[in-house]
Structures are given as C-alpha cells and as structure tokens.
Amino acid sequence: MNLQTLNLQNFVQGDSSERQAFVSSLGSAFESIGFAAIEGHGFSNSERDALQGVIKDFFEQATEEKMRSHNPKAKGQRGYTPFGIEHAKGESRPDLKEFYQWGPMNATERSLAPNIQVPHVDNLDSTVKSAYEKLEMVGQNLMRAIALHLNLPENFFDAYLDQGHSIFRAIHYPGQTSPMVEGIRAAAHEDINLITLLMGASAEGLELLNKEDQWVPIHVTSEVLVINVGDMLQRLTNNLLRSTTHRVVNPSADKCHLPRFSMPFFVHPAEEMPLNCLDFCVSPDHPKSYEDMTAGAYLHERLVEIGLA
C-alpha cells in the first residue's frame, strides 16, 4: 500500500485553501485507513541518519552495558527494556525486540519520572533531545489539523499536549541467524496513544490490516514520517477516526539477517484528559462504544495488558 503523502508545511505556513486541503486530506485518510505519510516535517536526511546512528550505537553495546540504563520500576516508560518483556494485547509470547524510551524533555521541571541519561554513548542524549522536541511540534500541528477536521477549535488539544506525556521509543529487532520468513517481530496490535509518528525504519516489515481483513505491506520513502491514529483518538471520536491494527513481520529470507531499527514517537496527552466520546460523534446510528475514562487510567490499563505494568 502506498500511503497518501501530505506536506505539513501546507498546514503550518499555507494559505487558507492549502490549510483546508491538508485538513480534509488528513481527516479522510484517518477515517478510511488510519494511516498517512507526512513530508515537510523539518527533519533533514542527515538529522535522521544521525539519530539512527546513535540509536544503533546504543543497541550494539553488550547486554550488561545496556542494562545500566534499565529501571524495572519504570514500567518500560523510561530507559532500557530488554528482550522478553513486552507483548501485544492478548498475546502471551513476547515480541522479538528490545527498546529504550524517553519521556518529556522537561520531565524533571514537571515532577515527572526523569529520563535516564546515557552519557557513555556519544551524542545520544543531545541527539534524542533535538529529535524529541521536533517531533513534539509536528505532533502538536497534526493534532491542530485533526481538531479542525472534527470542527473543534484549532487549539482544542494544545493544553492537554503542553502537559502531555509523549514518548520517543527506539526499538531494535535483531537480525536472525536462520530464515524465519513466516515469523512475527511485533504481533498485531493497535497503538495506545492519540497519534504515532514513525521515522523511517531501517528495514522493511510494517504491515496494516485493511477493511477486507488482509495484511498489506506499507511502502514509503525513508524521507517521510508515517503517522497513524491511536486508540485514545479512536475512543475520543467514537470510532470515526480509525486505530488500525498493524504488525511488524520478518523480511524475506535473504534479508532476515538484517536488524531493524525503528523510532516511533507516541503523542500522549496529559493524564487528566477525558477520553469521553465527543457528543457529536454519538448518534442513534453510531451509539457510544466506550465508557468514560481519563487518558491516565486508560494508559495504565493498557500497560497492564501488554506486560509493562
């Protein structure tokens, strides 16, 4: 599947007609398949390559070095999480991955759980900080466009995002010594958050489940950000915007030896944000599908389901 590609600058700096066209196209993509691709996001190829480089440097360390950044009390929300921990909702077998998570860069000032620094990997902390702050702004602009698509005030999500708990996750799926073409690196799942921004993964494998219940590979260039709806936004809009099931599968046999490095940014609102279905998304034809719940309560519920809490 070739995702629709939209230029974010048409929304950020465009005139009224360009902004409206962006809002309409993004809304249509999120209502139909829940995925789109974004260019004009502000990341140069060299910045993306530098980020992938420091992430690779971290995961290529010996296990005991990586475990220096592991805090078992962090529930996978900060620092390093080793293999064999996280699994998809409803699955018992863990995904074939290890990962590292950073939260807001101002976490200490906000009395949130602090990020775990990695000074022994050159430039890792500073490179991630720069990427996090750019992705945070991209996410805010996309949520403004979504608000307009829903006929809400453009700044409807701003306060929730200013006090949000967005996560940058670096993921390593190791290469395999023997071909396992039918295997799954990350089992079928939906994202928990409002929206996800995925910077070009280093190897193929991402597939989404379409309306015909067929698994379809995603084909995009490395220059774009793949964006998708998460469960929080689906709940809020009573299924108007689709949180599409997706997975990461093994590549072809001749590429199974290659590792996969992936860098999603999960846009999370403040924990006190209500995820109650918006009134105008509920009707006799579309009755309310979800109970009232805050983002914080929903996040905890899902972390339990995937083995992190």
Domain boundaries of the chain, sorted by first residue: 5-305
pLDDT tens digits along 96-123: 889 999 999 999 999 999 999 999 999 9
Residue 88, pLDDT > 80, answer no
What was the pLDDT predicted at 90? 80
pLDDT tens digits along 169-224: 999 988 777 655 455 667 788 999 999 999 866 556 788 998 889 999 887 777 89
pLDDT tens digits along 146-163: 999 999 999 999 999 999
Q: Mean of the pLDDT values across residues 128-150?
A: 97
Residue with structure tokens 């599908």?
289
28-34-38-42 Cα dihedral, nearest 10 degrees: 120
- What radius of gyration do the chain's Cα atoms show? 19
The model's pTM:
0.92
Answer for the pair 211, 242: CB distance below 8 angstroms, yes or no.
Answer: no
Answer for the pair 29, 246: CB distance below 8 angstroms, yes or no.
Answer: no
What was the pLDDT predicted at 181? 46
**266 C-beta neighbours (distance < 10 Å), count:** 22
What's the mean pLDDT when you consider all of the chain?
91
At residue 144, the 3 state secondary structure works out as helix
pLDDT tens digits along 8-38: 999 999 999 999 999 999 999 999 999 999 9
Angle between helix 124-149 and 45-59 (nearest 10): 120
Q: Mean of the pLDDT values across residues 83-106?
A: 87
Q: Output 193 or 255, whichever has higher pLDDT.
A: 193
Q: What are phi and psi of 48, to 5 degrees?
A: -65, -45
Structure tokens at 181: 């073409």
Answer for the pair 75, 51: CB distance below 8 angstroms, yes or no.
Answer: no
What is the distance between the alpha carbons of residues 231 and 307, in angstroms, rounded to a whole number? Answer: 18
- Following DSSP, what letter does each residue of 74-120 receive, concatenated? GTTSSEEE-TTS---TT--SPPS-EEEEE--TTTTTTTPPPPPP-TT
Greatest Cα pair distance, the chain, in angstroms, is 58
Architecture of the domain spanning 5-305: Sandwich (2.60)
Highest mean pLDDT pick, 107-111, 235-239, 241-245: 235-239
Q: What are phi and psi of 169, to 5 degrees?
A: -120, 130
